[in-house]
Structure 1
């Protein structure tokens, strides 16, 4: 019978490199004497069609795309954790949710950054939490240092305007002073 090694899987975003998730996951793996697996999912690019409807002459090979995804993962993890990070790097072809869930089967903990945009991936973290076979840690944007999105800024401004309007409703002459 082999002893199970504590395993932390961290999803590394190609957009942000997931620095907070990587650092936190490494700390958890070290505290438990386990290993860190940095995972990135990739999809093969679809060839562009010409105006006649036929595919372009140069169709990227999936091995080229996989090699590029792995090279970027190596670079991103080394930039965040340093060159001697000791993490196991894995690239998986396909959907990121499925890739993370498959890797979580043998993991003790799954760590991801919250998606940058709710419009791009509605309920991504929510679906991971309910489908994963292990605990899931989701780094919220405020902790991970993600810049506030335009939608979040607009929502905050609309909420503040609604509060001001409700506070002055029915009170003629009561308004906010502008200096």
Structure 2
């Protein structure tokens, strides 16, 4: 039997689905004595020539915003659940699915929301969760917003 505590990686983007996934992951980690890594990925905005150009946001501002959003989600969730589970926060630059798959290498479980920011209304699985389910090297739990 391994003495290592189970490692759970959860994707967080601030959406209702990711908030539910974070709650699920924290509850699971508390029950099994594991540690949660809450991961938020960010990328620079993409501009399309036909669209009006939005205000330019620096990489530092984008990263700071992602760190703030993640800290808020984790702090609110851990306070709500009054949990003793350890939750580490990690913000990385890059595509969400790739970042989650990379961070979940060697993890015991990857938890994602069924839909985050983006996607099409009515789609049951978002592109990130579908990609994770298809390519992860560990079990993946997909949590719907009303499941958390």
- How far residue 76 of structure 1 moved from its aligned partner, in angstroms, is 1.5
The one of 106, 129, 140 aligned to 1:136 = 140
Counterpart Cα distance in 1 of 2:29 and 2:143: 16
Q: 1:28 and 1:43, CA in 2 relative to 1: closer, same or farther beyond 3 A?
A: same
Number of equivalent positions: 138
Q: State the partner residue of 1:68.
A: 65
Provide structure 1 residue ranges, at least 5 long, that are not aligned to the other structure. Answer: 50-54, 145-179
State whether residues 114 and 143 of structure 2, in contact with CA within 8 Å, keep that contact through their aligned partners in structure 1: yes
> Of the two, which has the highest radius of gyration?
1
Runs of 4+ off more than 4 Å? 46-49, 120-123
Secondary structure of the corresponding residue to residue 138 of structure 2: coil
After superposition, the Cα gap between the structure-2 partners of 1:114 and 1:17, relative to the gap in structure 1 and judged at 3 Å, is closer
- Residues in 1 aligned to 2:20 and 2:37: alpha-carbon distance in whole angstroms: 15
- Contact 2:96 2:128 survives alignment (8 Å): no
TM-score (norm 2): 0.75
Matches within 5 A, 1:21-170: 21-46=21-46, 59-82=56-79, 86-115=86-115, 119=120, 123-144=127-148
- Which SS does the other structure have where 1:18 is aligned? helix
In structure 2, the CA distance between the partners of 1:17 and 1:62, relative to structure 1 (3 Å rule), is farther
Deviating more after overlay: 5-14 vs 96-105? 5-14
When residues 46 and 122 of structure 1 are mapped into structure 2, their CA distance, relative to the original with a 3 A threshold, is closer
Q: Which has the higher contact order (CA 8 A, sep 6+)?
A: 2
State the Cα RMSD in Å: 3.2
Q: Which has the higher strand share?
A: 2
